[in-house]
Amino acid sequence: MKTHEIYIKRSIEIAKSGLGSTAPNPMVGSVIVYDNKIIGEGYTSAYGGNHAEVNAINSVENKELLKDATLYVTLEPCSHFGKTPPCSDLIIHHKIANVVIGCVDDNPEVAGKGIAKLIASGCHVTVGVLETECKEHHKRFFTFHNKKRPYIILKWAETANGFIAPIKKDEKKPVWITNAYSRQLVHKWRAEEQSILVGTNTVLEDNPSLTVRDWTGKNPIRVVIDRELKLSKEHSVFNAEAETIEISKNDFDFNKPLAKQIATILHSRNINSIIIEGGEKTLQTFIDENLWDEARVFTGNTTFKNGIKAPEFYGKLISEEKIIEDTLHIYVNN
């Protein structure tokens, strides 16, 4: 691996610490190298806070070294005044000699203007190091800007014989298909995404609260679909533990594709990612409209005599993992 690639790879690695807290900002990572040694590192702070480059520069003890240093960053340094001042200005202020960038920022506010500013000030700029990896790392952010919708993750659990729920459910007894470790992993995933969605039937049948309880992290924004006004504020998804966006009757044009309308509403609410936790109808709607990016499917070792069939879909299997007796398959849509 070439030197530039090693440091961009390190930038991606530290950037992951921002997963779940930076959104709707991208989770950027940055390292500063002087004389072949890392002298500073930083990643994007929780939403509204410092950008990665600011944290990396702040972490450098001897600022004198910056003018002969190289700053590596997974995403183009910003050029605009948002919640924070432009990172490109700070880089210019410290006269950092070289900047190596993973990929261009597709946010129209930035989109090449950060790079242009740096070059105009005499900084030596390299763009496109591990570009594919950086774009993959920033997949939520790029899906939001380029497809005008959130990055969509489907999640469900099915029995060994392909059912996601029994036909008739005894309300007092929750029916678990997967084990406690798999369920804990789902809570980790909830903390990683900006929002979570379930359909009307899931709220009516399971009354989930959709919060993060078996993991540490922030609760995602809950998105609830209520096209026929069947839900009441007594349902747990409306409790005070997290924010809830209710999309109801008046928000829909019944002649237009449902999932697309939901995705567009979420885009207008600045939502970069969503995990859809059912039920079968809701999942199948997103699959049928081909509006999904990833499917995370657990298979437990229980069986039901009869039940609601798991959604039908085609995706490319990218990983298979055992979680005790459960199996987790992850697919991407391509």
| Contact predicate 215/190, CB 8 Å | yes
Q: Which is nearer to ligand AOF, 52 or 198 (CB)?
A: 52
Q: How far is the CB of 107 from ligand AOF (least distance, A)?
A: 3
Contacts of 250 by beta carbon, 8 Å cutoff, 6+ apart: none
Q: Which is nearer to ligand AOF, 23 or 308 (CB)?
A: 23
- Residue 51 makes contact with Zn ion by CB under 5 A: yes
Which sign does the torsion angle of CA 272, 275, 279, 284 carry? positive
Residue ranges binding ligand AOF (CB under 6 A) = 25-26, 28, 44, 51-53, 75, 77-78, 82-84, 87, 105, 107, 110
Q: Which stretch binds Zn ion (CB under 5 A): 38-46, 78-86, 132-140, 181-189?
A: 78-86
CA distance linking residue 234 with residue 304, whole number of Å? 31
CA distance linking residue 154 with residue 170, whole number of Å? 26
Q: Catalytic residues, which ones?
A: 53
- Residue 78 makes contact with Zn ion by CB under 5 A: yes
Q: Which stretch binds Zn ion (CB under 5 A): 47-55, 184-192, 217-225, 318-326?
A: 47-55
| Contact predicate 311/156, CB 8 Å | yes
Q: Which is nearer to ligand AOF, 84 or 121 (CB)?
A: 84
Task: Among 33, 57, 87, 185, indicate the residue that binds Zn ion (CB under 5 A).
Answer: 87
Tell me which residue of 171, 168, 235, 243 sits closest to 208, measured CA to CA: 235
Q: How far is the CB of 12 from ligand AOF (least distance, A)?
A: 13
| Contact predicate 7/31, CB 8 Å | yes
Give the binding site for Zn ion (CB under 5 A): 51, 78, 87
